[in-house]
Amino acid sequence: MAKRRLPPLRSLEAFMHTVRLGSARAAANQLGLSPSALSRRIATLEEFIGKKLFTRARQSMQLTDEGQAFFEAVNPHMEALTRAVESQSENISLLRLRLGVLPMFGS
């Protein structure tokens, strides 16, 4: 049996959030990432699949036709994966804690 590789889940997550929210900034905020970190995750996915999913111009990202086709192909499977994990998890609640730290404490 041939070994199959999957793209990094975090890259898929960044892509899916960006498409669903229609904004890289909103997706980055929801994922707790900087816009540049989100962009790097999407670039990793683009490199993995060998297709441009977004066109980038200044402060915006526009979904390409290939990006739309990829989303339509992957979205049902990501939704099914989410449902499968939720149905098998006893405690699915996720708490996220954000801390603000002054620069002198971060070094």
d(CA 37, CA 24): 10
Q: pTM above 0.75?
A: yes
Angle between helices 24-31 and 9-21 (to 10 degrees): 130
Angstrom distances, CA of residue 21 to CA of 16, 24, 41, 84, 91: 8, 8, 16, 23, 26
Looking at residue 1, what is its pLDDT? 58
Residue 106, token pair as written in the block: 């971060």
Per-residue pLDDT tens listing for the chain (107 residues): 566 688 999 999 999 999 999 999 999 999 999 999 999 999 999 999 999 999 988 777 899 999 999 999 999 999 999 888 888 877 656 556 666 666 665 55
DSSP-derived secondary structure letter, 90: S
Q: Residue 10 is inside which H or E element, if any?
A: helix 9-21
